[in-house]
């Protein structure tokens, strides 16, 4: 029910303004007028999400009749809908409202929507406050309807108390440089870089390995289409190296990230290859002459490389790298290089890049199965990981595509795959790595195509064939290729010392019986883990990590590629496990999000940020130390907040011993007003 109420004095609001001015807050940041608050309360049913538990009409009636300064109160089925927004706009104009309280869902979800409605009606968008009576009330008190209604009234009363003291805020605009940094040059980084470059933006693509391509370059085929991984990846690698708008910086690592959205300064440490990049032709003479052989990381240590090498024949750039850790200093490579491209005196180079946006696409690590000793990895020669299996069946791999048992060099006549090694496990990682089921099915099918007589078992918890064409791929492998799927995770693996074969003890939970299965070779379907540099990159960029260790997106549904640091985006498996199609899609999405800022040339910065009152600051530096975004510096022993870097977390305001550090839109008097309203009737 809507109700018009008489005007009343706003002594609390006036005293707040006086206190702010007395404490030295800049006038431009304190624009509170002395006008009397005229508060409109809008209570949402949210279908039955709220109204199924809370008596919404009673809450609206209470607000209109009992809460001071509320001159209009009503309820609506869906306040976030177009009719609901129109109702708010019309009420603001008709009843001359200057403060809005929306009792609905999480402000994280819909507060921008209601702010836009207020702005459309002609009032400052930051005169809107939200009372979360869904997540904070109806959803957690579903069995206590009467108490939930009373709590909703309390939440609305608290929100009105804060709304009385809200101050107008103005967004700032920051210029955005039309260049971008992409960190990591796997398929995610390559796709993001190409998309941005095709839009006409300058892109710096930094990769820590000597070549781009990432882990996709190590694969044989890709599911479910069975495309050759190299055939679809290599053209993109070449396009990346030749694109006029992409500067490819390989064998380099990010050392520091400073600045803020639109103006990041990134320090890159480019390691010495001891080979002059502009001279090397990739002729192989140096590698053929080198006397040193070491395990090749690209082949998972199953093959060998020289001390001077390229990781694989299609490497981009095709420039040799001298591994100083394994080089014996014989100088043979320099002697045979007719173009004199070898330079033993080459030093590390520090580059400084100025960019407007950053995309982090630094990838993942595969799970180390030695952490699951019951499966015998590292103990029994014929136990390999899924990625090692990929290299063994790959035509460009160490055995030319012929799968041979490491123990005796014979082709296996029976193979077992164990799923969820390192995933869906309370002792390692709780999450599903998403790709393990499908790559095991793919590899089983690849071997069956060449050796139909081979017995192949896949031991699984659940088969998760979630993508387009994945379920059909799984069914065909099972029914037409004869791969045996056993629902059950082996408890222990031990070796038959006579044959070198492996014996697995497992319970088939579908049949309810114990099995003992003997195979010639065992493949562990290892999952994905955060990359080794995920933590350091996150700290440098100011991006948080989730409970799973991957970098955290701003919102899992609505902002899956954004981070809470404006101008920094995520692509691929740095954000969480995913397959190639999802990785490519997210990379393009990240490029699109970054391009929006650069196309506009400027970005609006949320004004809910911290500021410091110089007269109260004692230069203790506590705020500077606890700021997670590096937004605070000391100038003449006084804290100065960088408004573009500040994200309004409020840590500085909470930690300041003198009250000098403050947070706009969440000032002490506003919070105390809510507390007082919670403890007493209005």
Q: Going by C-beta distance under 8 Å and a sequence separation of 6 or more, which residues neighbour residue 238?
A: 316
**Helix 56-66 and helix 145-164: axis angle, to 10°?**
40
Query: CA 572 to CA 583: how far, in whole Å?
Result: 4
Residue 282 has pLDDT above 50, yes or no: yes
Query: CA 322 to CA 337: how far, in whole Å?
Result: 13
For residues 584 and 659, membership in a common domain is answered with no
| pLDDT (0 to 100) of residue 628 | 85
Q: What is the pLDDT of residues 570-615, one digit of tens each?
A: 999 999 999 999 999 999 999 999 999 999 999 988 899 999 999 9
Closest by CA position to 406, among listed 382, 390, 375? 382
Closest by CA position to 298, among listed 290, 306, 286, 288? 306
Q: What is this structure's pTM?
A: 0.86
Asked whether 550 and 192 are in contact (CB, 8 A), the reply is no
Work out the percent of the chain whose per-residue pLDDT is above 90.
Answer: 89
pLDDT higher for 109 or 320? 320
What strands lie across the sheet with 246-250, from one edge to the other?
A: 246-250, 202-207, 179-183, 357-360, 568-570
Query: CA 215 to CA 22: how far, in whole Å?
Result: 60
Q: Which of residues 567, 582, 600 is at a domain's end?
A: 600
User: How many other C-beta atoms can be found within 10 angstroms of the C-beta atom of residue 58?
Assistant: 15
Mean pLDDT value of segment 257-278: 95
Residue 629 has pLDDT above 60, yes or no: yes
**Residue 477, CB half-sphere, CA atoms under 13 Å: how many?**
31
Omega before residue 84 within 30° of 0, cis: no
Residue 108 has pLDDT above 90, yes or no: no
| pLDDT (0 to 100) of residue 626 | 94
- Residue 45: give its domain's CATH number: 3.40.50
Residue 70 included in any domain: yes
Task: Identify the weakest region by mean pLDDT among 19-33, 86-100, 457-471.
Answer: 19-33
466-491 burial by CB neighbour count: b if 16+ within 10 A, else e? Answer: ebeebeebbeebbeebebebbbbbbe
pLDDT higher for 540 or 33? 540
For residues 17 and 163, membership in a common domain is answered with yes
Mean pLDDT value of segment 186-204: 98
| pLDDT (0 to 100) of residue 2 | 47
First and final C-alpha spacing in the chain: 19
- Domain extent, residue 211, equals 179-363+530-600
Residue 383 included in any domain: yes
Asked whether 273 and 320 are in contact (CB, 8 A), the reply is yes
**Residue 298, CB half-sphere, CA atoms under 13 Å: how many?**
25
Query: CA 71 to CA 164: how far, in whole Å?
Result: 12
Q: What is the pLDDT of residues 19-44, one digit of tens each?
A: 333 333 333 333 344 579 999 999 99
User: How many other C-beta atoms can be found within 10 angstroms of the C-beta atom of residue 395?
Assistant: 11
Query: CA 493 to CA 504: how far, in whole Å?
Result: 5
Query: CA 583 to CA 434: how far, in whole Å?
Result: 12
Q: Which of residues 483, 501, 528 is at a domain's end?
A: 528
**Residue 223, CB half-sphere, CA atoms under 13 Å: how many?**
28
Residue 678 included in any domain: no
Count of domains forming the chain: 4
Query: CA 523 to CA 384: how far, in whole Å?
Result: 5
pLDDT higher for 4 or 647? 647
Asked whether 470 and 478 are in contact (CB, 8 A), the reply is no
Asked whether 549 and 534 are in contact (CB, 8 A), the reply is yes
**Residue 238, CB half-sphere, CA atoms under 13 Å: how many?**
7
Query: CA 299 to CA 44: how far, in whole Å?
Result: 59
| pLDDT (0 to 100) of residue 634 | 95
Residue 669 included in any domain: no
Residue 439 included in any domain: yes
Query: CA 144 to CA 493: how far, in whole Å?
Result: 53
Tell me the two tokens of residue 458: 């896949």
For residues 373 and 358, membership in a common domain is answered with no
Q: Which of residues 600, 630, 649 is at a domain's end?
A: 600
Give the DSSP per-residue string, 81-148: SHHHHHHHHHHHHHHT--EEEEEES-HHHHHHHHHHHHHHTTS-GGGEEEEE-IIIIITT-TT-HHHH
For residues 322 and 449, membership in a common domain is answered with no
For residues 274 and 345, membership in a common domain is answered with yes
For residues 199 and 344, membership in a common domain is answered with yes
Helix (H) or strand (E) holding 641: strand 638-641
Burial class (CB in 10 A: 0-12, 13-18, 19+), 3: middle
Residue 557 included in any domain: yes
Residue 37 included in any domain: yes
Give the DSSP per-residue string, 367-406: --GGGSGGG-BTTBTTEEEHHHHHHHHSTTSTTTT----T
For residues 517 and 561, membership in a common domain is answered with no
For residues 345 and 228, membership in a common domain is answered with yes
| pLDDT (0 to 100) of residue 614 | 95
For residues 165 and 185, membership in a common domain is answered with no
Mean pLDDT value of segment 87-116: 95
Residue 2 included in any domain: no
Q: What are phi and psi of 586, to 5 degrees?
A: -70, -35
What confidence tier does 7 reach under pLDDT thresholds 50, 70, 90?
very low
- Residue 645: give its domain's CATH number: 3.30.70.20
User: How many other C-beta atoms can be found within 10 angstroms of the C-beta atom of residue 513?
Assistant: 9
Partners of 203 in the beta sheet? 180, 246
Q: Which residue has the tokens 């069975």?
A: 226
Residue 3 has pLDDT above 80, yes or no: no
Residue 680 has pLDDT above 90, yes or no: no
- How far, CA to CA in Å, does 309 sit from each of 233, 303, 305, 330? 21, 13, 7, 15
| pLDDT (0 to 100) of residue 242 | 97
- Residue 373: give its domain's CATH number: 3.50.50.60
For residues 91 and 183, membership in a common domain is answered with no
For residues 317 and 371, membership in a common domain is answered with no
- How far, CA to CA in Å, does 233 sit from each of 218, 222, 229, 230, 411? 11, 11, 6, 5, 29
Whole-number mean pLDDT of the chain? 93
For residues 548 and 654, membership in a common domain is answered with no
Work out the percent of the chain whose per-residue pLDDT is above 70.
Answer: 95
Q: What is the pLDDT of residues 127-178, one digit of tens each?
A: 999 999 999 999 999 999 999 999 999 999 999 999 999 999 998 899 999 9
| pLDDT (0 to 100) of residue 34 | 54
Beta strands 521-526 and 383-385 are parallel
Closest by CA position to 130, among listed 148, 150, 147, 155? 155
Q: Which residue has the tokens 């890159």?
A: 268
Q: Going by C-beta distance under 8 Å and a sequence separation of 6 or more, which residues neighbour residue 480?
A: none
């Amino acid at each position: 029910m809507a109700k018009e109420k008489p005007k009343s004095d706003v002594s609390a609001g006036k005293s707040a303004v006086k206190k702010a001015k007395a404490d030295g807050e800049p006038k431009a940041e304190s624009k509170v007028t002395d006008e009397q608050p005229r508060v409109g309360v809008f209570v949402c049913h949210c279908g039955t999400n709220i109204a199924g538990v809370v008596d919404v009409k009673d809450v609206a009636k209470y607000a209109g009749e009992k809460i001071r300064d509320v001159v209009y109160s009503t309820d609506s089925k869906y306040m976030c809908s177009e009719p609901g927004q129109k109702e708010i706009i019309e009420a603001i104009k008709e009843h001359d409202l200057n403060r809005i309280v929306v009792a609905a869902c999480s402000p994280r979800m819909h507060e921008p929507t209601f702010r836009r409605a207020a702005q459309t009606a002609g009032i400052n968008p930051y005169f809107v406050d939200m009372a979360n009576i869904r997540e904070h009330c109806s959803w957690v008190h579903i069995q206590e309807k009467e108490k939930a209604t009373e709590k909703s009234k309390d939440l609305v009363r608290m929100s009105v108390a804060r709304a009385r003291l809200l101050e107008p805020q103005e967004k700032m605009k920051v210029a955005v440089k039309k260049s971008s940094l992409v960190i990591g040059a796997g398929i995610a980084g390559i796709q993001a870089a190409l998309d941005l470059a095709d839009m006409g933006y300058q892109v710096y693509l930094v990769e820590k390995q000597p070549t781009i391509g990432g882990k996709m370059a190590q694969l044989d085929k890709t599911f479910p289409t069975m495309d050759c991984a190299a055939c679809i990846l290599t053209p993109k690698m070449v396009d990346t190296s030749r694109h006029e708008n992409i500067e490819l910086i390989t064998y380099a690592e990010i050392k520091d990230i400073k600045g803020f959205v639109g103006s990041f300064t990134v320090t890159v440490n480019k390691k010495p290859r001891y080979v002059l990049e502009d001279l090397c032709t990739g002729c192989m003479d140096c590698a053929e002459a080198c006397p040193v052989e070491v395990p090749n990381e690209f082949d998972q240590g199953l093959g060998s490389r020289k001390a001077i090498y390229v990781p694989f024949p299609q490497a981009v750039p095709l420039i040799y790298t001298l591994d100083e850790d394994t080089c014996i200093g014989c100088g043979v490579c320099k002697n045979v290089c007719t173009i004199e491209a070898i330079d033993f005196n080459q030093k590390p180079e520090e580059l400084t890049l100025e960019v407007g946006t950053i995309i982090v696409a630094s990838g993942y690590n595969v799970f180390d199965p030695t952490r699951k000793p019951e499966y015998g990895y590292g103990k029994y020669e014929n136990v390999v990981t899924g990625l090692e299996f990929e290299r063994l069946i790959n035509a460009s791999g160490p055995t030319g595509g012929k799968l041979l048992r490491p123990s005796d060099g014979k082709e296996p006549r029976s193979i077992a795959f164990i799923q969820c090694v390192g995933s869906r496990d309370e002792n390692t990682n709780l999450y599903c790595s998403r790709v393990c089921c499908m790559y095991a099915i793919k590899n089983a099918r690849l071997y069956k195509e060449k050796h139909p007589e081979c017995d192949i078992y896949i031991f699984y918890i659940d088969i998760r064939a979630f993508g387009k064409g994945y379920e059909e791929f799984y069914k065909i492998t099972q029914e037409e290729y004869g791969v045996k799927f056993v629902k059950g995770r082996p408890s222990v693996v031990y070796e038959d010392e006579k044959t070198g074969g492996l014996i697995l003890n497992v319970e088939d939970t579908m049949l309810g019986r114990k099995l003992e299965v003997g195979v010639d070779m065992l493949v562990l379907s290892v999952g994905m883990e955060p990359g080794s540099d995920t933590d350091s990159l996150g700290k440098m960029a100011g991006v948080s990590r989730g409970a799973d260790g991957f970098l955290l997106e701003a919102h899992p549904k609505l902002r899956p590629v954004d981070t809470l640091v404006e101008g920094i985006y995520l692509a691929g498996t740095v954000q969480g496990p995913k397959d190639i199609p999802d990785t490519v899609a997210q990379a393009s999405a990240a490029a699109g999000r970054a391009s929006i800022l650069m196309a506009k040339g400027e970005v609006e910065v949320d004004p809910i940020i911290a500021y410091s009152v110089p007269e109260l600051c004692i230069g203790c530096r506590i705020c500077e130390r606890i700021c997670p975004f590096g937004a605070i510096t000391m100038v003449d022993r006084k804290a100065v907040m960088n408004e573009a870097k500040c994200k309004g977390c409020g840590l500085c305001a909470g930690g300041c011993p003198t009250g000098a550090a403050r947070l706009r839109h969440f000032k002490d008097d506003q919070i105390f007003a809510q507390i007082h309203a919670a403890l007493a009737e209005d």
